[in-house]
Chain A
Amino acid sequence: MLDRSIAPSPEPLKTVDFPQAEYLQIAGCETLLLRSSNQPVVVLELILSSGRWTEKRPGISYFGSKMILEGTPQKTAEQISFAFEALGSYVEINPGFDHQTIKLYTLKRFFEKSVSMLFELFDKATFPSEEFALMKTIRQQNLQNQLSKPNQFASLKLTELLYGQEHPYGRIIIPEMVEPLTREQAHEYFQWVLFRNPKIVLVGDVEDSQIDFLNQMFKRLESNTVATEKFLPQTSIGDHEINRQANQASVRIGKITIPKHHPDIHKLSIANTILGGFFGSRLMKNIREEKGLTYGIHSSIVHLAEHSYWTVGSELAKDKLTEGLSEIQKEINILCDQPPTEDELETVRNYLSGKLMTSMDSVFGLASLYKSTFLFGMDPTYFSEFMSTLQSIQSADISEVASTYLQGELVNVVVQ
Chain B
Amino acid sequence: MIHFKEFTLENGLHVIVHEDRSSPLVCLNLLYQVGSRNEDPEKTGFAHLFEHLMFGGSKHIASFDEPLQKVGGDNNAFTNTDITNYYITVPSNNVETAFWLESDRMLSLSFDPAVLEVQRSVVMEEFKQRYLNQPYGDVWLELRPLAYQEHPYRWATIGKDLEHIQRATMDDVKDFFHKFYVPNNAILVLAGDINVQSAEKLCKKWFGPIPAGSRTKMTLPQEPKQNEHRFLHLEREVPIDAFYKVYHMSSRSDSRYQAADLLSDLCGRGKASYLYQALVKRQQLFTSISSYVSGSMDPGLFTISGKLASGVTFTQAEESVQKILDDVKAGKITHDDLQKAKNQAEASIVFGEVELLNRAMGLAQAAAIGHVNLVNEELSLLHQVDKKAIIDEANRILTFENSSTLHYHAIK
Residues of A within 8 A of B (CB): 2, 4-5, 7-8, 10-11, 13-14, 38-41, 77-78, 81-82, 84-90, 105-107, 110, 134, 137-138, 141-142, 144-145, 148-151, 246-248, 250, 278-280, 288-296, 315-317, 346-348, 350-351, 353-355, 357-358, 360-365
Contact = CB atoms under 8 A, between A and B. Distances in A.
Task: Report which residue of B89, B125, B132, B347 has the largest number of chain A beta carbons within 10 angstroms of its beta carbon.
Answer: B125
B133 A85 contact: no
Contact of A347 (B66, B126, B135): B66
Interface string B197-228: 00000000110010000000000000000000
A270 to B, nearest CB: 14
A134 B284 contact: yes
A280 B336 contact: no
Contacts of A144: 239-240
Nearest to A141: B287
Contacts of B104: 4
A5 B125 contact: no
B298 to A, nearest CB: 28
Given A41-B354, A148-B135, A364-B354, A7 B67 contact: yes
B346 to A, nearest CB: 6
Given A82-B272, A247-B132, A357 B125 contact: no
Contacts of B344: 85, 88
B234 to A, nearest CB: 16
Given A2-B209, A39-B354, A86-B343, A350 B72 contact: yes
B270 A4 contact: no
Interface stretch (B20-28, B175-183, B321-329): B20-28
Contact of A351 (B69, B124, B132, B272): B69
Contacts of B135: 145, 148-149
A81 B70 contact: no
Nearest to A317: B125
Interface stretch (B114-122, B243-251, B253-261): B114-122
B133 A357 contact: no
Contact of A357 (B24, B103, B309): B24
A41 B125 contact: no
B366 to A, nearest CB: 18
Nearest to B271: A81
Contacts of B111: none
B350 A40 contact: yes
Contacts of B348: 88
A413 to B, nearest CB: 16
Contact of A13 (B67, B72, B134): B72
29 contacts: A4-B61, A4-B103, A5-B60, A7-B100, A11-B93, A13-B72, A38-B22, A40-B350, A86-B272, A88-B343, A88-B345, A89-B347, A107-B347, A141-B240, A145-B239, A151-B129, A151-B133, A247-B132, A292-B118, A295-B129, A317-B121, A317-B124, A346-B70, A350-B72, A354-B90, A357-B25, A360-B23, A361-B89, A361-B356
Interface string B57-78: 0011100011101111110100
B409 interface: no
B80 interface: no
B240 A145 contact: yes
Given A4-B59, A247-B133, A293-B121, A365 B238 contact: no
In the complex, which range does the number of interface residues on chain B fall in?
Answer: 35 or more
| CB-based closest 4 A-B pairs | A354-B72, A292-B121, A88-B347, A88-B343
Majority-rule SS of B interface residues = helix
A364 B22 CA distance: 14
B384 interface: no
B373 interface: no
Interface string B9-45: 0000000000000111100000000000000000000
B25 A361 contact: yes
Given A137-B287, A292-B125, A364-B354, A149 B134 contact: yes
A41 B23 CA distance: 19
A279 to B, nearest CB: 6
Contacts of B240: 141, 144-145
A105 B354 CA distance: 13
B140 to A, nearest CB: 17
A13 B73 CA distance: 11
Nearest to A358: B89
Contacts of A145: 135, 239-240, 307
A354 B353 CA distance: 22
B72 A107 contact: no
A86 B121 contact: no
Contacts of A247: 128, 132-133
A280 B66 CA distance: 7
Interface of B: 22-25, 59-61, 65-67, 69-74, 76, 89-91, 93-94, 96-97, 99-100, 103-104, 107, 117-126, 128-130, 132-135, 192, 205-206, 209, 238-240, 270-272, 277, 280-281, 284, 287-288, 307, 309-310, 336, 339-340, 343-348, 350-351, 353-357
Contacts of A11: 71, 93-94
A364 B350 CA distance: 13
A38 B352 CA distance: 12
Contact of A290 (B93, B118, B339): B118
Given A4-B59, A85-B344, A148 B238 contact: yes
A294 B100 contact: no
A49 B97 CA distance: 45
Given A7-B67, A247-B128, A14 B121 contact: no
Contacts of B125: 248, 292-295, 315-317
Contact of B353 (A2, A39, A149, A346): A39
B281 A107 contact: no
Nearest to A344: B66
Contacts of B288: 138
Nearest to A83: B272
Given A107-B347, A294-B125, A347 B281 contact: no
B70 A248 contact: no
Contact of B347 (A82, A105, A291, A358): A105
Contacts of B103: 4
Contact of A14 (B24, B70, B205): B24
A77 B122 CA distance: 46
A138 B287 contact: yes
Contacts of A84: 272
Nearest to B193: A361
Nearest to B130: A295
Contact of B343 (A78, A107, A149, A246): A107
A279 B239 contact: no
Given A7-B97, A78-B272, A354 B340 contact: no
Contact of B71 (A315, A354, A365): A354
B185 to A, nearest CB: 21
Contacts of A85: 270-272, 340, 343-344
A282 B129 CA distance: 21
B224 to A, nearest CB: 36
Given A2-B206, A88-B347, A315-B129, 9 more contacts: A41-B347, A82-B340, A85-B272, A86-B339, A88-B348, A89-B347, A141-B239, A247-B132, A288-B122
A134 B22 CA distance: 47
A245 to B, nearest CB: 8
A316 B71 CA distance: 31
A360 B353 CA distance: 15
B74 A351 contact: yes
